[in-house]
Structure 1
Amino acid sequence: MQIRPRRSVLYMPGANVRALEKAKSLAADALILDLEDSVAPDVKEVARERVAEAFRTGGYGPREVIIRVNAVSTPWGKEDLKVAAELGPDAILVPKVSFADDVYEIGDKLDMLGAPDHTKIWAMMETPMGILNAGAIAAARQAPAGRRLACFVLGTNDLAKETRARIVRGRLPMITWLSTTVQAARAHGLDVIDGVFNDFDDMEAFRDECLQGRDLGMDGKTLIHPSQIAVANEVFSPSATELEWAEKILAAFALPENAGKGVITLEGRMVERLHAEMAERTVAIARAAVPAAAA
Structure 2
Amino acid sequence: MKGELEARPSLYAADMVVNPQGCSDYRGVANIVMTAVGVGVLALPNAVAFGGWIAAPLLLVLSWVLTHFQMCLLWKCLFMNPSRKQMQSYEEVGRACFGRVGQVAVAVCLYGGIFCICSLIMILLGSSLHNLAPSLSRSLWIVISVALMLPFAWLPTFKRVGVIAAIGVAATTVVAISVIIAGAREAAGPDDHEHVLGPQGIGGLGLAFTNFMNSFTCAPVIPGLIAEMKNPATFPRVAMWSFLTITVVFGSIGFAGYAGWGIDMLKFDLIVDAVASSAGKGDW
TM-score under structure 2 length normalisation: 0.26
Larger Rg: 2
More helix by proportion, 1 or 2?
A: 2
